[in-house]
Structure 1
Amino acid sequence: MDVKKALKYMVLSTLGFACMNATVKYLEEVSSYQIVFFRSLGSLFFTFGFLLKNKIPIIGKHNGLLILRSLAGASSMLLFFMSVKYLSIGSAVSLRYTAPIFAAILAVFILREKVKPLQWLFFLVSFFGVIVLKGFDKHMNSYGLLLVIIAAVLSGLVYVIISKIGKREHPAVIVNYFMVTAMILGGVLSINSWVTPKPAEWPFLLSLGIFGYIGQIYMTKAFQAASTNIVAPLKYIEVVFTATLGVMLFQEVYTVWNLLGIALIIGGLVLNVWYKSKYNN
């Protein structure tokens, strides 16, 4: 176990995702459908290359679950990108991270998993953070909030489906299915609303897949370098990086209540990861 290496990898991963989030925010005039299309297309260059290079079969064995995971993931991605157009990127990312709460609830019914009382308390802390974030921010867009919460629910479903798949499929196959589905979804939905990007927007559109791939690959490396209870809480560094970019690049303003809400959301989730990894194993 190499904690320093895991920390380095996770910092690179969260920075990659934060840059992707900021790029989506910058492309406000570009349709969310097109953003999903280009983000997926860019990542497919890497995933297909990896599968072909390592001679891994592109078609998995559990196609039903793979397709269901891909549809849920692609829909979640689309709704999150749409929400960024209405919310500050720091708040949107924080709210998206409520996904583990919905994953835990869904896992109770689908996977018959048990959630201990203290874990529900931690989830309640995070949910209270959502209330603080919205309740004390009169300027927070309700439509954007609805979009990102639905995105979080679908993301929670993704976690459950991946748990269902387990180690029966190679991670690259799962990601590849996701990117193909997202590309098709984004492409089809863009047909009637396609707007040719401006010359200055093309580099940003093409960078989406690169940032997304950097985030994915280094996150995987981090989990391989150290135990989950050490690495998982580090994922929330993405919120710090994203909010910082929001302030620096888009002059976003975060009130004390915004910061308290974000802190409660992330704090409750980090405590849950710590507790689950320490007492549920």
Structure 2
Amino acid sequence: MPARDRPFLALGLRLAAMATLSIMLLLVKLAGTRGMPLPETMFWRQAIPAVLILAWLVSTRRMHLLRTARPWIHFRRAMIGTAGMFLTLGVVQILPLAEATVLGFTAPVFAVILSATLLKEQVGPWRWAAVVLGLAGILVIAGPDRGHVPLVGLATGIGAAFAVALVSIQIRDLGRTEQPLTVVFYFSAMSLPALAPFLVFTGINHDPVGWLILGGIGLSGLFAQVLMTAALRIGVVSSVIVMDYSQFGWATLWGWLVFGQLPPGTTWLGAPIVIASGLLIAWREHVLSRRRADAAATA
């Protein structure tokens, strides 16, 4: 069967990836409640995948997959990705899980803006309308009351979404020459030297539950990346990305079960607006990709 001819399996894998990712964010929030510094949490989030990937490559004699002619591009992606991860995991510790997750859904909005400014892509009225819609959704979620979404949390969430969009453009560029596993490994490995010094200042003295949380963060992060990569290998991006919005349901569930938090009315109003903007962008990308494919076939 062709690699990209299993759409229902791709949707299932992406759905499983979002559930796994929501577990990672839950564990990150739990780590914060236990007083674990964020840089230390990030170190183990990166170290465990790097070690496991390297061990798998050695055991299967596939070290050649790590060959690259673009080390500087990997390094740049790792540094920007590490800064983005700091914001992405940081907002989870500042805001309730549901609100932090919804703000992450604005990444496609910033991806459109960056595509127009950095890649000089032609952006038509449909995608610009989606950008305006997404920004309106943020304003609704913020609301007049700063009690549930403080300004620092809102700024961190928007910054995280912007960083994700910037990284997605870099990954699009790396994907032209590199294997997905190569990109994942170098991101994890190259970020470790920048994160390791924080262990000297924060210490690594944790009880068994703390170590289980840190191990769970690393493993769930790795599994989420593997599942997302697998979904993209057998499905179309514009189709499987729809499953990303299921993460809002998981975040709301974990927030209620573990922390006793339910989103206020402004979040329930703003979340569908933000999700609608992302779906509009995904739909438009699907239409444009089909047009490009038809034009190439005709040529």
TM-score class, shorter-chain normalisation, is over 0.9
Partner residue, 2:131: 123
Partner residue, 2:20: 16
Partner residue, 1:6: 10
Amino acid at match of 2:239: I
Paired residues of 1:229 and 1:278 also in contact (CA < 8 A): no
Say if 2:32 is the partner of 1:32: no
* CA distance 1:57–1:219, shift in 2 (3 Å): closer
- Cα distance in 1 for residues equivalent to 2:67 and 2:203: 30
Bigger radius of gyration? 2
Superposition deviation, residue 181 in structure 1 = 2.7
TM-score w.r.t. structure 2 length? Answer: 0.88
SS of the residue corresponding to residue 64 of structure 2 reads coil
Superposition deviation, residue 137 in structure 1 = 4.0
Moved more, 13-22 or 193-202: 193-202
Amino acid at match of 2:48: G
Partner residue, 1:175: 184
In the alignment of these two chains, the number of paired residues is 281
Partner residue, 1:164: 173
| CA RMSD in angstroms, aligned pairs only | 1.7
Say if 2:243 is the partner of 1:237: no
Partner residue, 2:293: none
* CA distance 1:190–1:103, shift in 2 (3 Å): farther
Superposition deviation, residue 197 in structure 1 = 2.2
Partner residue, 1:67: 75
Paired residues of 1:30 and 1:195 also in contact (CA < 8 A): no
Amino acid at match of 2:7: V
1:153-210, Cα deviation, whole Å (9 max, x unpaired): 2211111112222320111111111111333222223432335223321101011111
Say if 2:55 is the partner of 1:49: yes
1:230-266, Cα deviation, whole Å (9 max, x unpaired): 2111122122212211111111121121111122111
Say if 2:189 is the partner of 1:185: no
Say if 2:215 is the partner of 1:206: yes
Partner residue, 1:83: 91
Paired residues of 2:245 and 2:275 also in contact (CA < 8 A): yes
1:26-84, Cα deviation, whole Å (9 max, x unpaired): 11111001110011111113322344333334242111211111111111111221221
Superposition deviation, residue 280 in structure 1 = 4.2
Paired residues of 1:16 and 1:212 also in contact (CA < 8 A): yes
- Cα distance in 1 for residues equivalent to 2:16 and 2:79: 28
Superposition deviation, residue 109 in structure 1 = 2.6
- Cα distance in 1 for residues equivalent to 2:53 and 2:267: 37
Paired residues of 2:143 and 2:266 also in contact (CA < 8 A): no
* CA distance 1:7–1:137, shift in 2 (3 Å): farther
Paired residues of 1:133 and 1:257 also in contact (CA < 8 A): yes
Superposition deviation, residue 224 in structure 1 = 2.0
- Cα distance in 1 for residues equivalent to 2:260 and 2:132: 31
Paired residues of 2:174 and 2:183 also in contact (CA < 8 A): no
Within 5 Å, give how 1:89-108 maps onto structure 2.
89-108=97-116
Superposition deviation, residue 96 in structure 1 = 1.9
Amino acid at match of 1:266: I
Moved more, 190-199 or 102-111: 190-199
- Cα distance in 2 for residues equivalent to 1:129 and 1:61: 42
SS of the residue corresponding to residue 252 of structure 1 reads coil
- Cα distance in 2 for residues equivalent to 1:212 and 1:247: 22
* CA distance 1:94–1:185, shift in 2 (3 Å): farther
Q: 1:225 aligns with which of 234, 245, 262?
A: 234
* CA distance 1:94–1:9, shift in 2 (3 Å): same
- Cα distance in 1 for residues equivalent to 2:138 and 2:250: 20
Structure 1: gaps (5+ residues)? none
- Cα distance in 2 for residues equivalent to 1:194 and 1:143: 27
1:125-154, Cα deviation, whole Å (9 max, x unpaired): 111111111124421121122122222222
- Cα distance in 2 for residues equivalent to 1:137 and 1:215: 34
- Cα distance in 2 for residues equivalent to 1:26 and 1:275: 38
SS of the residue corresponding to residue 191 of structure 1 reads helix
